[in-house]
Amino acid sequence: MIKGLHHANIVVSDMERTKEFYTKILGLEISFETLIEDAEFSRGAGFQDTKVAATFFSVPNSSTLVETFQYLTPSGRSIPSDSKANDEGIGHICFEVSDIERAHRNLREKGVEFGSSPVTMENGVRWCYFYGPDKERLELLELPASEE
């Protein structure tokens, strides 16, 4: 049945700004870019005459991709400015790091907005939310040495 996670998708408003953030800020690499203008894609997405700029970013040490779509037609709605972690739908994409304090500091120095500083759970798991250019919720996660 399921054999792995291939990708997670984020719909964005500005692909150039997104590429800048995911490559220069997060350090991911672009693995593939394309413009999708395909009747079957439109049918699968539930639209007519869809035109989508798509960029796939490779996640280090993983076969998983972060797929970003900018719908050129039809355009969509923005994430509500009052969106919270407990709202229904996709909550966040999590990136595992080996040193959350260093990752948090490096991203803050690059102007990334965080929901909080890193928190530590009773089991030693450390995490914090941060936000991408379209206010998409992302997470940094550091597992205790015994769980890596």
Which residues 6+ apart lie within 8 Å of 139 measured at CB?
92, 93, 94, 95, 127, 128, 129, 130
DSSP code per residue over 51-113:
EEEEEEEEPTTSS-EEEEEEEEES--PPPPTT--TTSSS---EEEE-S-HHHHHHHHHHTT--
Q: Looking at the structure, do residues 30 and 66 belong to the same domain, yes or no?
A: yes
Does residue 84 form part of some domain? no
pTM for this entry: 0.88
Q: Which range marks the domain in which residue 138 is found?
A: 93-147
Total count of domains within the chain: 2
Q: Which of 80, 78, 90 is closest to 13 using CA atoms?
A: 78
Q: Looking at the structure, do residues 67 and 111 belong to the same domain, yes or no?
A: no
Q: Looking at the structure, do residues 67 and 125 belong to the same domain, yes or no?
A: no
Does residue 87 form part of some domain? no
Tens of pLDDT, residue by residue over 20-69, are 999 999 999 999 999 999 999 999 999 999 999 999 999 999 999 999 99
Residue 6's pLDDT band, with cuts at 50, 70 and 90, is: confident
